[in-house]
Structure 1
Amino acid sequence: MKNCLFAGLISCILIAGCSNKEDGKDSKTALLKTTDPAPVELVDHPETDSFGHAIKKELAKKKELYDVAVIQSKEETLVVYKVKHLQRFKMKKIEKDMEKYLEGKYPGEDFILSSDYKIFLETVRLKEKIQHKSISKKEAEKEFKDIIELQKEKT
Structure 2
Amino acid sequence: MKKIIRTGRYLIIVLCLLISAACGNKDENPDNAEGSVTEISNQQANDQFIANQTKKQLIKWEAVTGVKAVQLDKELLVALEIRQRNKFQLEPLSKKATKALEKKFPGMDVTVTTDQKALLELGKLEDQFKNGKLDETKLEKQFKKIKQIDQDVY
Name the TM-score, length of structure 1 as normaliser: 0.68
Aligned to 1:70: 69
How far apart, in 2, do the equivalents of 1:37 and 1:68 lie?
8
Aligned to 2:28: none
Alpha-carbon offset, residue 121 of structure 1: 0.5
How far apart, in 1, do the equivalents of 2:38 and 2:106 lie?
25
Structure 2: which amino acid aligns with 1:154? Answer: V
Bigger relative contact order, structure 1 or 2 (CA pairs below 8 A, ≥6 apart): 1
User: Which of the two has higher C-alpha Rg?
Assistant: 2
How far apart, in 2, do the equivalents of 1:107 and 1:134 lie?
30
**1:88-135 superposed Cα distances (whole Å, 9 cap, x missing partner):** 122222112112211222222110000011001001111222233333
* Structure 2 residue runs without a partner (length 5+): 1-34
Partner SS for 1:68: strand
**1:30-75 superposed Cα distances (whole Å, 9 cap, x missing partner):** xxxx64332477x846xx6522211110111000000001100013
* Equivalent residues in 2 for 1:38-49, closer than 5 Å: 38-39=39-40, 44=45, 49=48
Identity of aligned residues (%): 24
Aligned to 1:107: 106
Give the number of aligned pairs: 120
Structure 2: which amino acid aligns with 1:36? Answer: V
For the 8 Å contact 1:40–1:52, the answer to whether it is kept is: no
Aligned to 1:151: 150
* Equivalent residues in 2 for 1:74-153, closer than 5 Å: 74-153=73-152
For the 8 Å contact 1:35–1:67, the answer to whether it is kept is: yes
Q: Structure 1 residues 49 and 116, CA, compared in 2 at 3 Å: closer, same or farther?
A: closer
Aligned to 1:36: 37
Q: Which moved more, 1:69-78 or 1:145-154?
A: 145-154
How far apart, in 2, do the equivalents of 1:93 and 1:40 lie?
31
How far apart, in 2, do the equivalents of 1:73 and 1:64 lie?
26
How far apart, in 2, do the equivalents of 1:56 and 1:144 lie?
17
How far apart, in 2, do the equivalents of 1:84 and 1:56 lie?
16
Structure 2: which amino acid aligns with 1:71? Answer: V
